[in-house]
A = this chain, B = another copy of it.
Amino acid sequence: MKYALITVRKIKNIKNFFPYAVLIEGENLKEKILKGFKYYNAIIFIGSIGIITRYLKLMSKSKLFDPAIVVLDEKLRYCIPLLSSHFGGALDLSLRIEKEIKSISVITTATDTQNLIGIDLFARRNNLIVDKKENIKLINSKLLNEKKISVNLPNYFELPKYYITSEKADVCYESGGKILNLIPKDLVLGIGFHKNENADYIYKKYLELIDVKFRNRIQILVSHEKKWNTKVFHEFSRKINVTHTKGYNNFELQKAIDKLNIDKENIVKKHMGISEICRPACFLASNNMEELITIKDKNIKFSIFRIQKYWKNPYLEEDIPEVIK
């Protein structure tokens, strides 16, 4: 996950309070916020909530795609999860900040105010997604009003208060839920693209070529480290709202190619020194040979592999390339 730190005014040593975040520098506040929206999964904004709210008007899209945004005053007294509290992780970011630097989390969401774990927050914390987003409200209302929801989930999930296990349940795993299902984010997407392609075009092709049943489950976006080092790669990762990315070097990829036994002479090898990027990168990230799809369209290639064991911490900060700092 990529964390951006944006301040309205210069604040001395502010970076020290958020060591996991990149301080976005520059004179123009609007450009800094735009950069945050374009490349980062979470924005820590220090300044007036009215200012960021007015910019959100221009930038926010939907609760499923917007970055998490938390707002703190300059004295770091309060931390307000403003946008994407549950799916985006703003609430948990705020709680982390509270724990680490003692800012008070100002929580306004109904379930959290009542100390209940809504189904969307439960999903986020367990790297799951919800199949029928419009029904989240139904489950959370039950939680708030009846203090009880019925679930049928694998027993390695730790159930929050008022989640009662039942065979025919409102909430099931993968399928069978009367109201909705929780789906694991258990896929890795590998991507290769020509350096002239832009993120909008790659995203368009992605929507065209990759079935929605795969798209929802993607946990990690991977490629060659040269691609990972481009703006386009990270802009695309935000468009598909993936919070983990990784780039591999030739040495790592060649080892994977050898293991997969897919080496050959081709134009990619001539340019990059290795014959293929998508499949070996997916293999490295998934630690698994289960290839679900590999598809190529002119200058763009996608592969999807199933992850053997999915990444446990959905909030893990990751390396950030210089080009988007």
Query: Residues of A with Cβ closer than 8 Å to B?
Result: 8-9, 47-50, 53-54, 56-57, 60, 63, 71-75, 77-78, 80-85, 90, 106-110, 113-114, 144
Cβ contact within 8 Å between B9 and A84: no
Cβ contact within 8 Å between A78 and B108: yes
Residues of B within 8 A of A108 (CB): 47-50, 71-73, 78, 80
Given A73-B108, A78-B106, A80-B80, 20 further pairs, Cβ under 8 A: A8-B110, A9-B110, A47-B108, A48-B110, A49-B80, A49-B81, A50-B81, A50-B90, A53-B83, A54-B60, A57-B57, A57-B60, A71-B108, A72-B108, A73-B107, A73-B113, A74-B113, A75-B113, A78-B108, A106-B106
Cβ contact within 8 Å between B110 and A74: yes
The one of B80, B90, B109, B113 in contact with A106, judged by C-beta atoms closer than 8 angstroms, is B80
A80 to chain B, nearest CB (A): 6
Cβ contact within 8 Å between A48 and B85: yes
A68 to chain B, nearest CB (A): 10
Cβ contact within 8 Å between A53 and B53: yes
Residues of B within 8 A of A53 (CB): 53, 56, 60, 82-83
A303 to chain B, nearest CB (A): 35
Residues of B within 8 A of A49 (CB): 80-82, 108
Cβ contact within 8 Å between B83 and A50: yes
Cβ contact within 8 Å between B54 and A57: no
A237 to chain B, nearest CB (A): 23
Cβ contact within 8 Å between A109 and B48: yes
Cα–Cα, bound, A9→B141 (Å): 10
Residues of B within 8 A of A63 (CB): 50, 54
Cβ contact within 8 Å between A85 and B47: no
**Selected A-B contacts with CB under 8 Å, 15 pairs:** A9-B144, A47-B110, A48-B108, A48-B109, A49-B80, A49-B81, A49-B82, A49-B108, A53-B56, A53-B60, A54-B63, A57-B57, A73-B106, A74-B110, A78-B107
Cβ contact within 8 Å between B47 and A82: no
Question: A145 — nearest CB in chain B belongs to which residue?
Answer: B9
Cα–Cα, bound, A77→B109 (Å): 12
Cβ contact within 8 Å between B84 and A50: yes
Residues of B within 8 A of A54 (CB): 60, 63
Residues of B within 8 A of A71 (CB): 108
Residues of B within 8 A of A90 (CB): 50
Residues of B within 8 A of A48 (CB): 85, 108-110
A63 to chain B, nearest CB (A): 7
Top 5 nearest A-B pairs by Cβ distance? A73-B108, A48-B109, A49-B108, A73-B113, A78-B106
Cα–Cα, bound, A74→B84 (Å): 19
